[in-house]
Amino acid sequence: MSDPIERVLVVTAHPDDSEFGAGGTVAGMAREGREITYVVVTNGSKGSSDRTMTPERLARIREEEQRAAARTLGVARVQFLGYPDGEVEDTRDLRRDVSREIRRFKPDLVITQNPHRTYNLGASHRDHRITAGVALDCVYPLARDHLAFPELMPEFEPHRVREVYVMQWENPRLVVDVSDVMDLKLKALACHASQFADFAAVEARVRERARQLGQGQGYAYAETFDRIVLGR
């Protein structure tokens, strides 16, 4: 029997990505007493159709919205890395920063986005794909190996992650029942008010998608992932 998951790190590109892709899973884990930390790579400063909005103001708004959503789900803390929205690149700086957060919080489980383009273009935004690829590279081997990023030592000692959940909508290997926490997921999503002109329509789409993902397992609502178990 594997050791229980106690600490979870969720690594995503933008404010609201965690709620869309894993909000129900996060809520359920928080209810079970697991310690959950968000790492948000970008400042979210481009996500607006309001011609009067400035990137600086939007970044502040979205940070507060993300903190409110995290509190709603029971997330312990949110770390913002502050990279420019829409301009994420797979750089040494980003790999170092994500590795540092893995070493800092020592998660048993990392949840991240999908590194591949899929039919779901919104979910496979370029920032999402690059963030996910970086997160996977940091899980193995960069956060694990003491010779990677020697400047992080000795403050941030290497850490071995045990499992990874990759958000997946096409032939997922793991289907998580979120029926009991679906309303909480939606309440957290509603915190991101700057992103929704018509939240009722968003709620309907999110419910329908979660219903479709769950129907094969007999769940009212589900979220889906690929699960990677790493060796010791």
Distance CA 55, CA 58 (A): 5
Residues of the chain with pLDDT > 70: what percent? 97
User: At residue 165, what is the residue type?
Assistant: Y
pLDDT in tens, 35-56: 999 999 999 999 888 899 999 9
Count Cβ atoms below 10 Å from residue 120 Cβ, excluding itself: 13
Assigned domain for 99 exists: yes
Assigned domain for 210 exists: yes
Q: List, in sequence order, every residue forming a beta bridge with 222; answer none if it has no partner.
A: 177
Q: In this structure, what token pair is assigned to residue 52?
A: 């009067």
Matching residue, tokens 């992650």:
161
Distance CA 137, CA 118 (A): 20
Distance CA 6, CA 207 (A): 28
Assigned domain for 54 exists: yes
Residue 2 pLDDT class (50, 70, 90 cuts): low
Assigned domain for 1 exists: no
Assigned domain for 45 exists: yes
| Structural domains counted in the chain | 1
Q: In this structure, what token pair is assigned to residue 45?
A: 């400063």
Assigned domain for 169 exists: yes
Distance CA 2, CA 231 (A): 11
Assigned domain for 100 exists: yes
**Residue 232: predicted pLDDT:** 61
Distance CA 45, CA 106 (A): 29
Assigned domain for 88 exists: yes
Range of the domain at 184: 7-229
CATH number at residue 79: 3.40.50.10320
pLDDT in tens, 100-150: 999 999 999 999 999 998 766 666 799 999 999 999 999 999 999 999 999
pLDDT in tens, 47-87: 888 899 999 999 999 999 999 999 999 999 999 999 999 99
pTM reported for the whole predicted model: 0.96
